[in-house]
């Protein structure tokens, strides 16, 4: 098992913003097939492929599409394509937008058709401003070809799509915060229930779906859902786009089969830079687990990650070598979370403020035993946060303390 080209086939070999080139390669044949066979059969095909959401939650996509269709409400409902890729070390969605924008759009239209939605937005992070004009151009080309707008493919299906620029806030990747942002409010999460699928954008049923997920939907509809099952392993079929960065020779985005070991993925990225010894790896983005390299001869699958109490998350792998301090790295992670906390709930707002001060002392080797006790206490308190941002960000702090406790002890100056 290793690097493959399923979603990313032909990427980089033609002008990605030339819609005619995309159509020559089978583009929009998946949409035509979906409309011809109907939304129920299309949703069933997605379910049979075993596709799980590629945005981090790993929720079965076929089930998600069916629930979106079944959501109680009036006829107006929305699809939001989540391209608010804000975590350090995560950049695979940018790769898909640059190299496969029409596949992303096609997947959104298919998802909207299955969900019964008539309006959609591609929510792109503010830091990707340089891509906005290209994406808007691509959307216009799809309209011109008749795949967006009124009565698509003479089916009676209407769907309008536009780009929406985020405000540069990490928490807007959360479904409700994204809805708030589009409505012109501060991007902050709402309490649940009701859920986004029931009462999301403008209080209407809303499907929030990731860039990579819709890319897979378009690909499997173009080629048949059975093609997904040719890759991966029985309990985790398909492929995964992975952002590999840190101390590797060839950082970048790689598409690999599920079941490939994490250590092999690092080899695919060229191995460790300057022939140094690998030390630790963070899996799944900034809120992912931090694990010693030697423990990562495990399959890159949803169940495989549980062996190290981790998750695939956003599909990021950040590699540290023998020269890297876990404390220094964790301090950078905490700086990010402290900066990006929306401030709505006390555990996340105040917890991150206190945790940042403790990490700053650890970094200077001025920590105390009281700091160490408070570190554990505060990290556990963050689990009471309102949204997933606060609840999941405890993972790197818990795992780092579990596997690299000696470095924490080395950051202490002594008892008070």
Mark whether 90 and 138 lie in a shared domain.
yes
| Alpha carbon distance 110, 7 (integer Å) | 16
Q: Once rounded to an integer, what is the mean pLDDT over residues 184-197?
A: 91
pLDDT for 86 beyond 90? no
pLDDT for 97 beyond 50? yes
Confidence at residue 57, expressed as pLDDT on a 0 to 100 scale: 79
Residue 309, Cβ neighbours under 10 Å: how many?
12
Mark whether 277 and 375 lie in a shared domain.
no
Mark whether 306 and 357 lie in a shared domain.
no
User: What is the average pLDDT value for the chain, to the nearest integer?
Assistant: 94
Mark whether 252 and 206 lie in a shared domain.
no
Residue 124, Cβ neighbours under 10 Å: how many?
24
The tokens describing 413, both together, are: 């100056």
- Span of 60-64, 71-75, 166-170, 339-343 with lowest mean pLDDT: 71-75
Which of 296, 321, 346 corresponds to the end of one domain?
321
pLDDT digits (tens, 9 = 90+) for 275-301: 999 999 999 999 999 999 999 999 999
Mark whether 304 and 354 lie in a shared domain.
no
Mark whether 168 and 44 lie in a shared domain.
yes
Mark whether 93 and 124 lie in a shared domain.
yes
For residue 404, the enclosing domain spans 326-409
Radius of gyration over alpha carbons of the chain, in Å? 22
What CATH number does the domain containing 250 carry? Answer: 3.10.20.600
The answer as to whether 7 is a domain residue is no
Band (pLDDT 50/70/90 cuts) for residue 310 is confident
pLDDT for 259 beyond 90? yes
Do 278 and 290 touch, CB atoms closer than 8 A?
no
Pairing of strands 252-257, 232-233: unpaired
Q: Once rounded to an integer, what is the mean pLDDT over residues 157-183?
A: 93
The answer as to whether 12 is a domain residue is no
The tokens describing 329, both together, are: 């790295």
Mark whether 221 and 76 lie in a shared domain.
yes
pLDDT digits (tens, 9 = 90+) for 8-43: 999 999 999 999 999 999 999 999 999 999 999 999
What CATH number does the domain containing 389 carry? Answer: 1.20.1440.230
pLDDT for 73 beyond 50? yes
29 CB burial (10 A radius; 0-12, 13-18, 19+): middle
Do 331 and 360 touch, CB atoms closer than 8 A?
yes
pLDDT digits (tens, 9 = 90+) for 100-145: 999 999 999 999 999 999 999 999 998 899 999 999 999 999 999 9
Count of the separate structural domains present in the chain: 3
pLDDT for 59 beyond 80? yes
Band (pLDDT 50/70/90 cuts) for residue 74 is low
Q: Once rounded to an integer, what is the mean pLDDT over residues 358-370?
A: 96
The answer as to whether 6 is a domain residue is no
Confidence at residue 335, expressed as pLDDT on a 0 to 100 scale: 96
pLDDT for 81 beyond 70? yes
| Alpha carbon distance 206, 117 (integer Å) | 8
Mark whether 209 and 243 lie in a shared domain.
no
- Crossing angle of helices 394-403 and 326-340, in 10° steps, is 170
What CATH number does the domain containing 50 carry? Answer: 3.40.50.11540
Beta-ladder partners of 206:
78
Query: Considering the entire predicted model, what is its pTM?
Result: 0.95
Confidence at residue 416, expressed as pLDDT on a 0 to 100 scale: 44
Which of 290, 321, 352 corresponds to the end of one domain?
321
Identify the CA nearest to 344 among candidates 376, 395, 384, 398.
Answer: 384
Confidence at residue 388, expressed as pLDDT on a 0 to 100 scale: 83
Confidence at residue 414, expressed as pLDDT on a 0 to 100 scale: 59
Which of 289, 321, 353 corresponds to the end of one domain?
321
pLDDT digits (tens, 9 = 90+) for 315-361: 999 999 999 999 999 999 999 999 999 999 999 999 999 999 999 99
Helices (H), 86-232: 92-99, 101-115, 129-144, 175-182, 196-199, 211-223
pLDDT for 415 beyond 80? no
Mark whether 288 and 345 lie in a shared domain.
no
Three-class SS of 195-260: CHHHHCHHHCCEEEEEHHHHHHHHHHHHHCHHHHHHCEECCEECEEEEEEEECECCCEEEEEECCC
| Alpha carbon distance 248, 275 (integer Å) | 10
């Amino acid at each position: 098992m290793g690097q493959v080209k399923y979603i990313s086939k032909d990427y980089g070999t033609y002008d990605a913003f030339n819609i005619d080139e995309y159509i020559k390669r089978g583009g929009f044949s998946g949409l035509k097939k979906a409309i011809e066979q109907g939304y129920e059969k299309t949703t069933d095909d997605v379910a049979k492929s075993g596709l799980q959401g590629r945005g981090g939650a790993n929720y079965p996509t076929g089930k998600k599409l069916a629930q979106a269709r079944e959501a109680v409400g009036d006829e107006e409902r929305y699809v939001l394509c989540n391209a608010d890729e804000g975590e350090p070390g995560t950049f695979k969605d940018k790769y898909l937008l640059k190299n496969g924008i029409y596949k992303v759009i096609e997947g959104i239209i298919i998802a909207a058709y299955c969900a019964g939605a008539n309006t959609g937005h591609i929510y792109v992070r503010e830091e990707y401003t340089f891509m906005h004009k290209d994406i808007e151009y691509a959307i216009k080309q799809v309209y011109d070809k008749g795949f967006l707008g009124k009565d698509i493919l003479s089916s009676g299906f209407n769907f309008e799509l536009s780009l929406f620029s985020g405000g540069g806030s990490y928490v807007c990747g959360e479904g409700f915060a994204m809805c708030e942002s589009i409505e012109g409010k501060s991007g902050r999460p709402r309490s649940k229930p009701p859920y986004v699928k029931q009462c999301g954008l403008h209080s209407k049923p809303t499907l929030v779906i990731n860039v990579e997920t819709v890319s897979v939907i378009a690909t499997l509809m173009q080629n048949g859902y059975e093609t997904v099952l040719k890759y991966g392993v029985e309990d985790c079929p398909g492929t995964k786009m992975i952002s590999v960065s840190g101390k590797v020779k060839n950082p970048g985005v790689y598409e690999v089969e599920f079941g490939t070991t994490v250590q092999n993925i690092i080899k695919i990225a060229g191995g460790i830079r300057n022939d140094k010894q690998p030390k630790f790896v963070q899996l799944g983005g900034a809120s992912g687990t931090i694990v010693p390299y030697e423990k990562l001869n495990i399959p890159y699958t949803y169940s495989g990650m549980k062996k190290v109490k981790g998750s695939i998350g956003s599909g990021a792998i950040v590699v540290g070598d023998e020269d890297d301090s876990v404390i220094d790295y964790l301090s950078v992670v905490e700086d990010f979370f402290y900066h990006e906390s929306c401030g709505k709930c006390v555990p996340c707002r105040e917890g991150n403020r206190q945790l940042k001060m403790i990490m700053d002392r650890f970094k200077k080797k001025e920590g105390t035993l009281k700091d160490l006790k408070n570190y554990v206490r505060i990290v556990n308190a963050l689990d009471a946060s309102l949204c997933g941002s606060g609840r999941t960000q405890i993972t790197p702090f818990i795992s780092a303390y579990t596997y690299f406790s000696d470095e924490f002890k080395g950051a202490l100056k002594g008892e008070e």
